Amino acid sequence: MKPLHLLLAATVLGGAFPAHAQLGLPSLPSLPLPDRIGPLGTGALQAPIGRLLDRAPLADLGRLRLEGLAALVARYPDRFEMDTAGNVAVRGEILAWSPGEAGLQAAAAAGLSIVRDEAQPELGQRLVVLRGAAGQRTVGLLPVLRAADPDGVYDFNHVYAGGGGAGAGSGAAAPSASPRGGSAVRVGLVDSGVDASHPVFEDSKLQRWGCGGAAHPAPHGTAVAALMVGQSERFSGAAPGASLFAADVYCDDPAGGSVDRLVAALGWLAREGVGVVNISLVGPRNAALARAVEAMLARGHLLVAAVGNDGPAAPPLYPASYPGVVGVTGVDRRGQVLPEAGRGPQVMFAAPGSQMVSAVPGSPPYRQVRGTSYAAPIVAALLARELPSPDRQAARRALDTLVRVAGAGGQGEISNVVGHGVLGADLRIDPARLR
């Protein structure tokens, strides 16, 4: 059985059938695909989908995402379950962040066993993955564990996926007149796999983590990585030729993108001393992931995340909405925020997110992309120029630099639409350049 993101890739990139039919979504021609089912963001679709999004009923975007996730559970009922809020989690698993002995005893009494116990010394904690017997649901067990161990942190092993108009001003340029990269710049990525054989990565130093060392290149991870460090004759990311530390948390597994893999990836990036990490993934609030994010920020890392594409009235998505995370929205070539982009106090910056191309595996080697997934890596790469390794004071200075650039020529106000303003407008790779 093929993982869902491979089925979606065959449909989206092959164009043989309507993608919404493949996912079991409503057959309404005025509604777009959700941008974030599986590692492949549907922002890799061609321009007609962008036009659909521009006129779609925005209230339906979040509903379509949830319906798509429900379809995922229906396709793999032995791998997934829904929590009480309708979010997808790995079936039968509970995450325990540095649990106490009382919590572990309560887990054993409830029929849960330890399947993974992963020390995360850089994050100052350990993550224990508990699993019930076949068919056992976890919904009723969380209150039991939390009551037995009030100081412990227990939550579902949620699954995260790729985050695929007020005026935003003219859009400020990057902090330097031309993209600055090179191996001295280091940046991290938590996403699906990167196609290291793509020509845009020829001058970049790529270090991989995950999947037992095997390569599983995917469209979403490749496109996001290219926007950070890629470089070719007609294409340039925001920090071309920089060293990329890429964690693949999917590995072509339909249950990829779970919180325990995200936490392990962050632990690896902490060990490698990478200052800035891009996470173009979105999902629900999760207590274990929140603790990992807090630990990374306390070490002086900057985490950059897409705010998501559920529409302006959607509830906050994570990790972009955790305090201290740099939430990024997307704008079009006119500096107008994408209608599907999330809004709220979690938005810190905006960057190009449509009417642009990036690299993908296979042929043709470049495709149009759209969504907040593709805006976040631009901001991450700009920050990485200023923060090659974790340092709390340097991280503050790097953010201050981008705040000044984004607010150049403005009133210095912060909005729930574009945050401090637009960055990297000059880094958009127009599709006409590659024709």
- Radius of gyration over every alpha carbon of the chain, rounded to an integer in angstroms: 20
- Spot the catalytic one: 220, 236, 260, 321: 220
**46 and 367 in contact (C-beta within 8 Å)?**
yes
User: In which element (H, E) is residue 133 found?
Assistant: none
Matching residue, tokens 């290149």: 217
Q: Where are the beta strands (DSSP E) in 166-239?
A: 186-191, 206-209
Q: How far apart are CA 226 and CA 224, in angstroms?
A: 5
User: In which element (H, E) is residue 109 found?
Assistant: helix 101-109
- Kindly tell me the burial class for residue 76, based on how many C-beta atoms sit within 10 Å of its own C-beta (0-12, 13-18, 19 or more): middle
Neighbours of 82 (CB within 10 A): 17
**380 and 372 in contact (C-beta within 8 Å)?**
no
426 is catalytic: no
**CB-side neighbour CA atoms (13 Å) of 187:** 35
**φ, ψ of residue 157 in degrees (nearest 5):** -90, 75
Q: Are strands 186-191 and 243-248 parallel, antiparallel or unpaired?
A: parallel
Q: How far apart are CA 271 and CA 256, in angstroms?
A: 22
- Kindly tell me the burial class for residue 107, based on how many C-beta atoms sit within 10 Å of its own C-beta (0-12, 13-18, 19 or more): buried
Helix 259-271 and helix 287-298, axial crossing angle in degrees, nearest 10: 10
- Compute CA distances 116 → 128, 130, 170, 403, whole Å: 6, 7, 50, 41
Matching residue, tokens 């390794």: 389
252 is catalytic: no
Matching residue, tokens 């974790």: 390
Q: How far apart are CA 329 and CA 320, in angstroms?
A: 10
Q: What's at 236, amino acid-wise?
A: S
User: In which element (H, E) is residue 62 found?
Assistant: helix 59-75
373 is catalytic: yes
Peptide bond into 48 cis (omega under 30): no
- Spot the catalytic one: 60, 149, 191, 252: 191
Q: How far apart are CA 335 and CA 166, in angstroms?
A: 9
**402 and 378 in contact (C-beta within 8 Å)?**
no
**Which residues are marked as active site?**
191, 220, 373
